[in-house]
Amino acid sequence: MTITEKLLARAAGVDAVKPGDFVNCALDMVLANDITAPIAIQEFRKLGADRVFDPEKIALVCDHSTPNKDIKSAEQTKLVRDFAAEHGITHYYEADGGGIEHIILPDKGIVIPGDVVIGADSHTCTYGALGAFSTGVGSTDAAAAMATGECWFRVPETIKVHLTGELQQWVSGKDLILYLIGLIGVDGARYQSLEFTGPAIDTLSMAGRFTMCNMAIEAGGKNGVVAPDATTMQWAEGRSEREATVLASDDDAEYVRVVEIDCGTLEPQISFPHLPENTKGISDVGEVIVDQAVIGACTNGRLEDLREAAEIVKGRHVAKGMRCIIIPGSHDIHLQATREGLVETFLEAGCLVSTPTCGPCLGGHMGILAPGERAIATTNRNFVGRMGHPESEVYLANPAVTAASAIAGRICSPEDL
């Protein structure tokens, strides 16, 4: 079996599964946020459930419209906060100690290797970087899961993505996943598992792996996954009192497709509007003037991402008329970035540093685009109207390219500076 098949079989309490099988799995964690949880709570109550199945296996994270941007978002957050208090939910996060859901759940050890997790947010697939099965669901599925602790799945086929070669300077996990999406398309892995393997993955940091699994959904994937190795276990050490389960694909596991990529030849990738698959290498971008740069989101809001961006902007200043918004992925990351002097570096360069939030990624707040404006961002989607007005444009890139573009006022490589 593949690692995805093993994870689902284990959670279903069966010896083996194959693609196409329907299984009912016990869940290690159920997640929802301030946009999706209110709907789930409404449906939970319609079920007539008295209590959640396990208050320690539910995470409610208010991150999309926080700090509350208007009356409606304040009402949404209060509803979630009150529900968490009513049911004694252990993992409720909003302000102190909070942050973006897909960053804080791994960082706090709430999700660990071997888990099976669902979340009422499509980028729940992020946790596959730990060797877990994680996928997004609708709010009604989350409601049923909060009541029962279970969810059904159709076992997906698996695409093996084998990545070789040594990464060039300024090329990261973001570039690898953008290149893959450009190669297979936004529906190239529809309801399939993307399993990332090979020497390039072996040398990739956990931050890079989280970024890759985060965007598996942008290729239509059911989940993204990396088998745990020494890098995984070293990163996970001390984060949780629960014992991890380390699984890996068998040598004779069957794959629906194998995609081979030589990463040694790749340059930084830019995704043009209005689909993540519309990718080009940085040398083919041409002259693209931008009005705003956003560095953050569940895709690239980690400390490593902020360090890389700070390295680029240090001693420089953002272009005249340019807005560069820095969004740490969590309260803890914001604190560490402050201690390391990164926040000061950003402010001296003319950047704006936000509290942790999803904010502009979904066109919520903290960086909405007007008609005709362009943004380059480390976020994960560039659909029409994703970051504001339908006549605005979003270009996706890694933190180094985004930071360099903020300095130049146009999309460029750090080498151009």
User: How would you label 54-84 residue by residue, b for 16+ Cβ within 10 Å and e otherwise?
Assistant: eeebbbbbbbbbbbbeeeebeebbeebbebb
For residues 346 and 314, give the distance between their C-alpha atoms in angstroms, rounded to a whole number. 7
CA 330 to chain centre: 13
From 254, 318, 263, 331, select the one nearest 292 (Cα to Cα). Answer: 318
Same domain, 37 and 132: yes
Backbone angles phi, psi at 215, to 5 degrees: -95, 10
Same domain, 215 and 347: no
Same domain, 44 and 116: yes
CATH of the domain at 247: 3.30.499.10
Read off the pLDDT band of 95 (50, 70, 90). confident
Same domain, 254 and 369: no
How does pLDDT run across 146-166, given as a tens digit for each residue?
Answer: 999 999 999 999 999 999 999
Task: Give every CB contact of residue 291 below 8 A, 6+ residues apart in sequence.
Answer: 321, 322, 323, 369, 373, 374, 375
Same domain, 190 and 313: no
Q: What is the mean pLDDT of residues 100-121?
A: 97
pLDDT of residue 255: 98
Same domain, 251 and 221: yes
Same domain, 247 and 288: no
8-state DSSP, 393: E
Q: What is the mean pLDDT of residues 11-19?
A: 97
pTM of the model: 0.94
Read off the pLDDT band of 16 (50, 70, 90). very high
For the chain, what is the domain count?
2
For residues 172 and 307, give the distance between their C-alpha atoms in angstroms, rounded to a whole number. 13
Residue 180 has pLDDT above 90, yes or no: yes
Same domain, 274 and 222: no
* Residues of the domain holding 172: 3-261
Same domain, 301 and 178: no
Residue 96 has pLDDT above 90, yes or no: no
- % of the chain with per-residue pLDDT over 90: 97
- Which of 243, 261, 279 is the last residue in one of the domains? 261
- Give 310-336 as a DSSP string: HHHHTT--PPTT-EEEE--SBHHHHHH
- Which of 237, 261, 285 is the last residue in one of the domains? 261
- % of the chain with per-residue pLDDT over 70: 100
Same domain, 283 and 141: no
Give me 260's structure tokens: 């081979």
Same domain, 274 and 254: no
Q: Under a CB-based contact definition with an 8 Å cutoff, are residues 378 and 397 in contact?
A: yes
pLDDT of residue 62: 96
Query: Per DSSP, what are the bridge partners of residue 294?
Result: 325, 377
pLDDT of residue 290: 97
Residue 170 has pLDDT above 90, yes or no: yes
Same domain, 234 and 88: yes
